[in-house]
Amino acid sequence: MYNNSKIYLTICKFVQKRGISLPILLDKQHFSELFTDLNIVTGLKISFFDENFNPILSHPKEDCKFCSLIKNNPYGNLKCTQAIKNAFLKCQKTKKDFSFTCNAGLCETVIPIIEAEKIIGYVLFGQTAENKDFSFLWEICKSLGIERQAFDKASSSLNVMSKNEISSACQIIKMCVQFRLFSESISASRSQQITAFKEYISNNLSSELTVSKICKQLNVSRTTLYELVKEELGTGISEYITLKRIQRAKKLLLSTNMSIAEIAEAVGIYDYNYFSKYFKAKTGLSPSKWRTLT
């Protein structure tokens, strides 16, 4: 089993690999990848539930062999379901991590995922024994009528972790989930910013568009705006504005009877001659030629 430092270093490596910057959206693909990596590191089954305790995703999808053996028993399955629900309710009430021993004798932990003081979901992990003495587990299985051979086969692959290791795993899982959520929220924020940028340009093409004015409108710095547009749109601010002005001019030339001078003003260029040269430089045709040929 990993010691704390080894687990931490391994986690740091894959966090860096995934591009999860340190620092609410649940991207299932991203969380599936995260839970896969966490499972590889810790050997734990990790599941995500919504705020109403409904399962969203797990890795691995299947229970461990021992849990499957217990759940195949109607009474064992009922007690398992009740134990997990009670753990969720306890966690919901306290808004704190809650570790417990399930009816089958295995260790489980529920972690509340909190955003703006509100629980938005839960992470459940566990299906692990605290030590290699499985006599207690056998007594539970025997009381359910499970045969010894089936017990031995199912318990042989059980994950074993000490209380300290479980506690460390809990902290690591919390850290990584919060990093992932923060990363998703940053991504959502960037998406909203670029949408606001595009809408502002579209709604103000007839006006003078300067970087300073755009920054003030969007409440971002010049550096942030330049980086945002370059990374999200693959172009510069001036180039994007030029593209949109040409696109708008083309549309007006084809769909209206506006004069070329009026179209020039509609796209924020108030000098007719400059507009004509500007349009031809970008399209290879003068505005009048474009209108007649297309």
Co-location of 123 and 179 in the same domain: yes
Residue 6's pLDDT is what? Answer: 46
Co-location of 58 and 141 in the same domain: yes
Last residue of a domain, one of 186, 213, 231: 186
Co-location of 159 and 267 in the same domain: no
**Tokens 């850290």 found at:** 175
Nearby residues of 152 by Cβ (< 8 Å), 6 or more positions away: none
Residue 237 dihedral angles phi and psi, to the nearest 5°: -65, -50
Co-location of 149 and 240 in the same domain: no
**Amino acid occupying residue 293:** L
Co-location of 32 and 172 in the same domain: yes
Residue 264's pLDDT is what? Answer: 92
Co-location of 215 and 94 in the same domain: no
> Residue 38 in contact with residue 46, Cβ under 8 Å?
yes
pTM score above 0.85: no
Co-location of 175 and 277 in the same domain: no
b/e sequence 257-285, b meaning 16+ C-beta within 10 Å: eeebbebbbbbbbeebeebbebbeeeeee
From the first residue on, what is the mean pLDDT of each consecutive set of 10 residues in the chain (294 residues)?
43 43 50 85 88 88 93 93 94 94 92 82 91 92 94 92 89 83 63 88 93 86 87 92 94 92 92 90 91 81
User: What is the count of structural domains for the chain?
Assistant: 2
Could you list the residue range(s) of the whole structural domain that residue 234 is in? 204-293
Co-location of 142 and 218 in the same domain: no
Nearby residues of 147 by Cβ (< 8 Å), 6 or more positions away: none
Co-location of 45 and 158 in the same domain: yes
**CATH number of the CATH domain containing 98:** 3.30.450
Structural domain includes residue 199: no
Structural domain includes residue 192: no
Q: Give the residue from 43, 20, 48 showing the smallest Cα distance to 128.
A: 43
Structural domain includes residue 254: yes
Residue 26's pLDDT is what? Answer: 54
Q: Is the dihedral of CA 167, 172, 175, 177 positive or negative?
A: negative
Structural domain includes residue 196: no
